[in-house]
Structure 1
Amino acid sequence: MPVPYRTSFNGKLDRLSSLIDRLRVQVSNALVGETGRESANFTIIENQSGDLRLVFCPLREEVECEFADREPGNGETALVAANIRISGIGKQLINALPQCIAIPLAEDANLTAVVAPLIEEATQPRCGGQAAFQRLCEVVVIRLLRHAMEQGKADTGLLNGLAHPRIAAALVAIHEAPGENWTLEKLAETAGMSRTQFAVTFKDRVGITPMGYLSGWRLDIARAELEAGRQVKSVATLCGFASPAAFSRAFSRRFGYPPKQGRGQAA
């Protein structure tokens, strides 16, 4: 049976939703002028002409950030400053982004449409404002990912692979159906490429072999499912392993402890 790939509203392949579903976005405000703003990794900055610039440094906690445009310059004001923490399997999307990105909002009308109510919630607090701010930040993260993918902001990694229409088809197939009996030949066929062309292009764009990526994705999903309390046997089946024993060996090699122990820790 063909894998039922998710499509967007226009009927085209949806390259992001299966990953975004597995993202966890946590937002804490760092209000302008208050202690803690220096820890913000997300800012919206306005210059004297009223032009807005969005700056997001997703990996700031893990990498020392010296990005020049991160802080307001002369005559500029930070209208919004917040700390956005992203976890979950889908975080590999974030890891594929540059260390810091700065986008003049005049260049992207879709981002501007979300940023306007975000600024309103931050500068004119009302009942439910924290919840609204959280939800809007989640939408901003999604649109940033879309912007980065469409504008070629990543040189290698997952976003770079998703930006390639044929490689994207194979990646979405893996994301949507990790339990499928995938082989290099099947994935190449899904991408509409020869076996050799697909393998070379995938490694060049994503930075890892197709089967290596598939294995890593399956095991990441497996760990998340175990932490949610799912049975080892059902997780092995869900993630496409031939047997619970094969799953246990692969899981232990990757994470350094057996699946049962991971499930016990979650419980």
Structure 2
Amino acid sequence: MDRLSAVLDRFRVQASLFHTGLMCGNHTFEAMPGRAFMHVLRRGEMEVRHLPGEAEVSSLRLAEPTVLLYPRPLHHVFVNPPREGSDFTCATLDFDGGERNPIVQSLPSVIRVPLDAVDGLRPALDLLFAEADHVRCGSRLLASRLFEVVLIQLLRWILDHPAKAGVASGLIMGLSDPRLAKSLVALHQAPHEEWPLERMAAIAGMSRSAFAATFKTATGTTPASYLTDWRLTLATSMMRTRRPVKMIAAELGFAGTASLSKAFRQRMGVSPREWLAESGA
């Protein structure tokens, strides 16, 4: 079962290579709205520091080839040896929907994974490094696309090892449960359809009560609330393209524009029109 494609089709991510090579001394990466990072430590040892209280850990010590994923804006500092430095290849990530992206919402503030822990990651990284290290026609663009491939491979690993990645609840935890994943994938693919609890539970092969309890434990919310949040998150993504709200409401299974606007205001605190004005979409 493909647990990721329906989400990534709706909420795309774009990577942009910005550094490859040695880093010596201290390097600060500021928290900027809408900016995520992926860093790949290829060689060397170094320390990563976070501002107190902003991440699950205040510092990390890296001593082996490692991928670091910052899915949302977070101030972090690389502390490298002053002379020999550490060898990095780095990219910024732009998740569609920003911090409302359902994948971003379900991930911890920083994920640290040794490269050898992810099966099949090395071949993609070899291609990425080959393009990043040599200036050829289209090399930067190709390296950026390969970063997106690496991200998908990393997300696959996180789905299979949520505890090791530090995932506690949310979409990723729900998709990690083989039973819940069946219902979630079906819901993601057809948000416009009716999704009573009985239907979700039947797809998962569970009783209503067992499904509801397991769903709440995994995702941190009820099936009905999750469905509403999923539809509204899709709505914000569609509104950025200036699609008419009436059309969006019909495509996402709302009774009409008024129904969408009411749910939107309850969740977001503003109307769709006000949200568009505030977001600058």
Give the TM bin, normalised by the shorter chain. Answer: 0.7 to 0.9
Give the aligned partner of residue 50 of structure 2. Answer: none
Query: How many pairs does the alignment contain?
Result: 249
Root-mean-square deviation over aligned CA pairs:
2.9
d(CA) in 2 for partners of 1:216, 1:95:
12
The offset of 1:239, in angstroms, is: 1.1
* C-alpha contact (below 8 Å) 1:20/1:142 kept by paired residues: no
Contact 1:219 1:251 in 2 (8 A): yes
> Mind listing any 5+ residue stretches in structure 2 that lack a counterpart?
30-36, 46-62
Alignment-mate amino acid for residue 78 of structure 1: D
Secondary structure at the counterpart of residue 95 of structure 2: strand
After superposition, residues 84-233 of structure 1 pair within 5 angstroms as 84-88=93-97, 91-152=101-162, 153=165, 154-233=167-246
| Kept in 2: contact 1:202–1:208 (CA 8 A) | yes
CA deviation after TM superposition for structure 1 residue 41, in Å: 4.5
Q: Cα offset for 1:139?
A: 0.7
1:15 equivalent in structure 2 = 3
1:46 aligns with 2:43: yes
**In the alignment, structure 1 residue 57 sits paired with structure 2 residue 54:** no
Partner residue in 2 for 1:78: 87
Q: Which has the higher strand share?
A: 2
Partner of 1:27: 16
Distance 1:266 1:231, change over 3 A: farther
Partner of 2:33 in structure 1? none
Question: Structure 1 residue 101: deviation in Å?
Answer: 2.5
Q: Secondary structure at the match of 1:144?
A: helix
Unaligned runs of 5+ in 1: 1-12
* CA apart distance, 1:55: 2.2
Percent identical pairs in the alignment equals: 33
**1:56 counterpart SS class:** strand
Q: TM-score, normalised by structure 1?
A: 0.81
SS in 2 for 1:250: helix
